[in-house]
Amino acid sequence: MAERSQPEASEAERIVGAAPAGARDQEAAAAAVRDMFTSIAPRYDLLNRLLTLRLDQRWRAALVRHAAIGRRDVVVDIGCGTGDLCVLAAAAGARVIGVDFAAGMLAAARRRGVTVPLVRADAARLPLPAASASVVTSAFALRNFVSIPQVLSEAARVLQPGGRLALLEVDRPAGTLARWGHALYFRRIVPLVGALLSDRAAYDYLPRSAAYLPPEPQLLSLIGAAGFGDVIKRPLSAGVAQLIIAMRSGERP
């Protein structure tokens, strides 16, 4: 993951209250996010399975399927956390590199037996050569990156022309009733369960962090501006999650 940047003034109202508690500037916010993910790493997988009724793994499997990840691919998973997506991509036959800026998450991945190479690095400054990957993935990390345009640009840099970008993130259902129920669960139940089983402050922050995601038209525009075409969004589980697949512009290798 990358450190946060100061949000543009036009987005200030949209993201008020979404920063980690006590974070007063970019550096403090980045440190708070790193510390938060390290603190919740030991029970991160348990909470993910419990809070999503194991749908999180189905969503990751959908990413692997729709991105057509297979034996010929070199996959870079940014914001890899404890390695869930790394494991699924490797099981599909790909060579995988996991990247995260939270040492605690990478340590948890190693403890659970993830064997792919794991690198502690900033998603906006990947220590990888240009055009070295055929797929770049990210699952539920986009809203914690510093500058989404910078991370997308870096993903385009390390991808071969014709390579795929696959982003899995939270979303909001379209229907009024479904949106109300989703908001109640996400903003009330998730922090309560998080407080009982892990860290209250962290699970207060995580639902709020969705405010950092740009509205859909802006996000899709940012992906296109970074050098991607054929951008497709797929709603998952009635719209509570979203999968975005795009292709790196340029000639295929």
Between 190 and 30, name the one with better pLDDT. Answer: 190
Percent above pLDDT 90 for the chain: 55
pLDDT at 112 over 90: yes
Query: Which pLDDT score is estimated for 76?
Result: 98
Model confidence over 172-223: pLDDT tens digits? 887 777 767 767 677 777 777 777 777 777 767 766 677 678 889 999 999 9
Residue 244 pairs in a beta bridge with: 167, 233
Q: What are phi and psi of 206, to 5 degrees?
A: -60, -45
Instruction: Report how far apart, in Å, the C-alpha atoms of 106 and of each of 22, 159, 179 are.
Output: 25, 23, 34
**CATH entry 3.40.50.150 includes domain 9-248:** yes
Q: What is the 3-state secondary structure (H, E, C) of the chain?
A: CCCCCCCCHHHHHHHCCCCCCCCCCHHHHHHHHHHHHHHHHHHHHHHHHHHHCCHHHHHHHHHHHHCCCCCCCEEEEECCCCCHHHHHHHHCCCEEEEEECCHHHHHHHHHCCCCCCEEECCCCCCCCCCCCEEEEEEECCHHHCCCHHHHHHHHHHHEEEEEEEEEEEECCCCCHHHHHHHHHHHHHHHHHHHHHHCCHHHHHHHHHHHHHCCCHHHHHHHHHHCCEEEEEEEEEHHHCEEEEEEEECCCCC
- For the packed helices 200-208 and 26-52, what is the interaxial angle rounded to 10 degrees? 90
Asked whether the beta carbons of 151 and 77 are under 8 A apart, the reply is no
What's the rounded Cα separation, in Å, for the pair 150 and 5? 10
| Pairing, β 241-248 against β 159-170 | antiparallel
Asked whether the beta carbons of 96 and 77 are under 8 A apart, the reply is yes
Q: Of 51, 33, 154, nearest to 105 (Cα)?
A: 33
| pLDDT tier at 29, thresholds 50, 70, 90 | low
Mean pLDDT of the chain: 83
